[in-house]
Amino acid sequence: MGFLKNIFKAKDEPIYSNQDFWDWFRKHEKAFFTAVKMGNNIEKDFFDKLAPKLKEIKEGFFFVTGMFNESTTELILTADGVVKNIPFIEGLVDAAPVIDGWKFTALKPALPIADVSIQMGGYKFNSGNINFYANEHSRFPDEIDITIVHADLNESNQSTVINGVYIFLDNFLGELNFATTIDNLKVVGKAEVGKELIPVEKLKQFLTWREKEFIEKYEGLRHDTEKDNYSMLEATLKNGHPLLAVINQNLLDWDGKASHPWIVNIEIKYDGKGNNGMPDNNTYSLMSAIEDEIMEELKDIDGYLNVGRQTAEGVREVYLACKDFRKPSKILYTLKQKYSAKINLDYDIYKDKYWQSFDRFINR
């Protein structure tokens, strides 16, 4: 295996783009193929080489690999279920070259139920001991709320069994489907069963039906925010510092919320010391410019709604409700890099069909 060591002696060029990564990978693909096929030192000869290069592109890239068949190695790039990283994984694989002996896959694919049998922590996870049922909510009819029942779950093994169920579903449903279609998920044992059990092999079919029903119901629904009313909300924190929020009240009263189920929470941190946690004039102007740039890229007519913002204690949070998660992920990552030398910007994206995370801004 000496040639595997020698091939990496020369200093690799830094990775700045997807193209850079694949150029680098192509140079070493034969050594990588051998490392995977032989399997003796795969961690040292492949994993330890690949992981740092993926990190140069972006944090949050993971991978699994193995022989797809006798002559082909499969490299599966995964976001480990983190929604905001999914578009970047897809983009990297879309840019992959055709290399003999390699199959590149974005996100862990769904597997047939017969191929999903996991043993972990002394417990088994398969169609023989996992069932499910769906929960319905009159206030939230479009939510997909699933209870998974594992026959062996009890109070003493909750952590192990729940983790195993999540791994099972990730493999059975596929990473993308598992991360984006289920709104609420609970794992229970037989003692907590509240409804008739359905075999877990029918879960894919159920989710496909519910997603199709949802898309047909809300397809094409948009909200024009041009004439909306915004409310200024003020509060005083326990330390006496102010909290200020500007919220689009028309959106909070809108009955079409579920059509924009992806919530983007943008967090901009600044130095609020000496100013009761509020930004100074220069910081305020910079944050306003960033918000304007965000909304220039993510327009309401295209399915990206500015719900409002909250400012307090050195943090401004900006809230968007979106039709999809892919474009906001890319736009905000670009802006995070662009302004990294001036201000600390980060963001999270999660699914909340009925915008329950904004309930605190609603007077009931």
Domain borders along the chain are 2-106, 113-218, 230-361
How many percent of the chain have pLDDT more than 70?
Answer: 96
How far from chain centre, in Å, is Cα 259? Answer: 19
On the question of pLDDT at 10 being above 90, the answer is no
Instruction: Give the mean model confidence (pLDDT) for residues 128-154.
Output: 96
CB 63 within 8 A of CB 78: yes
**What is the band of 46 on the pLDDT scale with cuts at 50, 70, 90?**
very high
Give pLDDT tens digits for 232-262: 999 999 999 999 999 999 999 999 999 999 9
**What is the band of 226 on the pLDDT scale with cuts at 50, 70, 90?**
confident
Q: Which helix (H) or strand (E) holds 79?
A: none
Q: Which helix (H) or strand (E) holds 86?
A: helix 86-94
Of 100, 99, 51, 113, residue with least CA distance to 77: 51
Instruction: Give the mean model confidence (pLDDT) for residues 140-152.
Output: 97
CB 263 within 8 A of CB 320: yes
Mean pLDDT for the chain? 94
Instruction: Give the mean model confidence (pLDDT) for residues 289-317.
Output: 97
On the question of pLDDT at 6 being above 50, the answer is no
Instruction: Give the mean model confidence (pLDDT) for residues 319-332.
Output: 98
Helices 48-57 & 18-38 angle (0-180, nearest 10): 160
DSSP secondary structure letter of residue 308: E
Query: Among the residues of 62-196, which ranges form H helices?
Result: 86-94, 158-173, 175-180
DSSP secondary structure letter of residue 15: P
Environment class of 166 (CB within 10 Å of its CB; exposed 0-12, middle 13-18, buried 19+): middle
Give the lowest-confidence range in 15-24, 216-225, 320-329.
Answer: 216-225
Length of the chain: 364
CB 258 within 8 A of CB 221: no
On the question of pLDDT at 134 being above 80, the answer is yes
Nearest 10 degrees: CA dihedral of 189, 191, 197, 198? 10
Query: What local confidence, expressed as pLDDT, does residue 364 receive?
Result: 56
On the question of pLDDT at 288 being above 90, the answer is yes
CB 145 within 8 A of CB 183: yes
Which residues neighbour 347 within 8 Å (Cβ) at sequence distance 6 or greater?
Answer: 84, 264, 265, 266, 267, 328, 332, 336
Locus of tokens 């229970």: 188
On the question of pLDDT at 357 being above 80, the answer is yes
Instruction: Give the mean model confidence (pLDDT) for residues 139-149.
Output: 96
CATH number of 230-361: 3.30.70.100
Instruction: Give the mean model confidence (pLDDT) for residues 62-71.
Output: 96
